[in-house]
Amino acid sequence: MSEHEHDLGLAHDLPRLMGRRSLLGLFAGAGALALAGCASAATGTTATTGTATGTATGSAAEIPEETAGPYPGDGSNGPNVLTESGVVRSDIRSSFGSLSGTAQGVPLTITLALVDTATGAPLPGATVYLWHCDRDGRYSLYDVEDQNYLRGVQAADADGRVTFTTVFPAAYSGRWPHAHLEVYPDLASATTPENATVTTQLALPQDACELVYATTGYESSVRNLARTSLDRDTVFADGYATQLATVTGDVTAGMTATLTVGIDA
């Protein structure tokens, strides 16, 4: 597979990244500790490493702004899945609307807790659009034009949480395994990226990736994961303390990734 042209346009990304670099300096030490916690090879069948950020009360660290990449499906670069009936859903494994098909792979549940950075309080009603590549490193609507799977929108519940049922994404050439998300103030505004409060990315920890990629169907991910690292990734290289999910579970019953997402509300 040819390398996806993710995040290679410095002129495009620099204005947005300049603001986050000063913030990420505060987390440099925490990022190094998080990497140390997940750098060793995984053993057994259960993954438990990663990092959780934010608190139930008090302030919470803000998740940084990142590029949406070339395959957002939000109308900014081609198709807009946000305006299609059926996109608001928790289970994003299958295509919806006039399209059909189901993405294959190790089951993954992604749970995000949306909190106010100033107070740590949950943000009920805040809305997340989440998308990621499939087991082969391909994105629906672009690499796979006749599918819109692995894309969905969820409004946070009373506790500020959203949950997506999906499959574990691949490691494709040039990128660390990740998922993309846009956070909106509410469901009504989640129709165009101009309304997004933040666009960012979630990183998956190394030990969980190694467990999953040892299973059938992820053979190319084994090679690609070995060729990169969080510290060399084009998005996460400047810090990932607030973006590295905690992953638990096993490849048979499925994995669960959790992350607290601090929003400047």
CATH number, domain at 123?
2.60.130.10
What percent of the chain has pLDDT above 70? 78
pLDDT at 49: 54
Better-scored residue on pLDDT, 37 or 219: 219
pTM (predicted TM-score): 0.82
Q: Which domain holds residue 214?
A: 107-263
Using pLDDT thresholds of 50, 70 and 90, give the confidence band for residue 265: confident
pLDDT at 17: 35
13-27, 78-92, 93-107: segment of lowest average pLDDT: 13-27
In a domain, 245, yes or no: yes
What percent of the chain has pLDDT above 90? 77
pLDDT at 173: 95
3-class secondary-structure state, position 199: strand
3-class secondary-structure state, position 88: strand
In a domain, 81, yes or no: no
- Enumerate residues 6+ apart whose C-beta is below 8 A from 135: 103, 104, 105, 167, 168, 169, 170, 217, 218
Using pLDDT thresholds of 50, 70 and 90, give the confidence band for residue 21: very low
151: nearest Cα among 47, 208, 73, 220? 73
In a domain, 34, yes or no: no
228: nearest Cα among 172, 180, 179? 172
In a domain, 46, yes or no: no
| Mean per-residue pLDDT of the chain | 85
Whether residue 50 has pLDDT greater than 70: no
In total, the chain counts a number of residues equal to 265
Using pLDDT thresholds of 50, 70 and 90, give the confidence band for residue 208: very high
Domain count, the chain: 1
C-alpha to C-alpha distances, 193 to 48, 189, 196, 243, 252, nearest whole angstrom: 33, 9, 5, 20, 36
In a domain, 62, yes or no: no
Using pLDDT thresholds of 50, 70 and 90, give the confidence band for residue 192: very high
Whether residue 2 has pLDDT greater than 90: no
pLDDT at 60: 87
